[in-house]
Amino acid sequence: MKATIFDIERNSYVDGPGIRTTVFFKGCNLRCAWCHNPESQSGFSQMLFYKDKCTGCGKCKEKCPNNLESCELCGRCALYCPHDAREICGREYTVDEVMREILKDQSYYETSGGGVTFSGGECMLQIDFLEEILKECKSHGIHTAVDTAGHVPFEYFEKIIPYTDLFLYDVKSLDNEKHKEYTGATNELILANLEMLLKSGKAVWVRIPIIPNVNDTEEEMKKIKSFLCSYGYPPKVELLPYHAMGEHKYAALGKKAHAFSVPGKEKISRLRKLFE
């Protein structure tokens, strides 16, 4: 069994408790306008071309079997580019290959209370692989977290709940119109899944991206808080302020990034207080 994965990041401190390895799956069924990993959206391998790094030396064309006229994602151009201006994003991995990476840091997980986090993209779209690798992690006694936007059938959750210690669950907006406008999907399924997950008693940390002019008001945060209070308030709610660090990747994919402003620190601390 294989999954398309675009990054495996060791020593992460931001995707759950302790020191973690985060595995990023390719493919997502939402299109959040603020996404800082646009290379995660397509489920297939892709070429990224960083125009600003390219000096026009021509080595890539020389090495390309197709003279750069069409691309079969062989990776030769990226291999020979002296300025890292080309990158193949995403490839297929077996469960064993990913486990080899995960197990490299097992002692750090044990001493820090960490583990592994499966993220994306939407890792739950490759549910059979995810179930398999979660089982494998549990058989090694590793703490597991699944980072999800929740826009999948609840049966997918049922498959992995027995092998998942913690869910990191994104809530973007309770305003259905805005949700549809900025993510491409309505929020009913996402909220219904969250409700069932919270009621099940499973550990859930809720993560809310703070996006100016989309959801950055006290009113919106209070609505989210009261939704959470009615279904079993999670032990942790994280607010993740928008940043523009993914912009260069949009350009490398030949896409245009949506322009948002970066929220101020004062506003973020005011909104955070609402959840204390």
Nearest by Cα to 197 from 172, 163, 161: 161
Nearest by Cα to 144 from 125, 169, 118: 118
Residues in contact with ligand SF4 by CB under 6 A are: 47, 54-60, 63-66, 68, 71-77, 81, 83, 85-86
Number of helices (H), then strands (E), in the chain: 11, 10
By beta-carbon proximity to ligand SF4, the closer residue of 13 and 44 is: 44
Nearest by Cα to 11 from 149, 112, 94: 112
Place of tokens 């994965």: 5
By beta-carbon proximity to ligand SF4, the closer residue of 57 and 192 is: 57
Report in angstroms how near the CB of residue 72 gets to ligand SF4 at its nearest.
Answer: 5
Report in angstroms how near the CB of residue 251 gets to ligand SF4 at its nearest.
Answer: 14
DSSP 62: H
129 Cα distance to chain centroid: 16
CB 19 within 8 A of CB 105: yes
By beta-carbon proximity to ligand SF4, the closer residue of 49 and 231 is: 49
CB 36 within 8 A of CB 243: yes
Report in angstroms how near the CB of residue 61 gets to ligand SF4 at its nearest.
Answer: 7
Report in angstroms how near the CB of residue 48 gets to ligand SF4 at its nearest.
Answer: 11
Report in angstroms how near the CB of residue 247 gets to ligand SF4 at its nearest.
Answer: 20
By beta-carbon proximity to ligand SF4, the closer residue of 12 and 45 is: 45
Report in angstroms how near the CB of residue 64 gets to ligand SF4 at its nearest.
Answer: 3
Q: Which conformational region is residue 134 in: left (phi greater than 0), alpha (psi within -120 to 50 degrees), or beta?
A: alpha
By beta-carbon proximity to ligand SF4, the closer residue of 65 and 113 is: 65
Q: Alpha-carbon distance 225 to 200, whole Å? A: 19
By beta-carbon proximity to ligand SF4, the closer residue of 83 and 104 is: 83
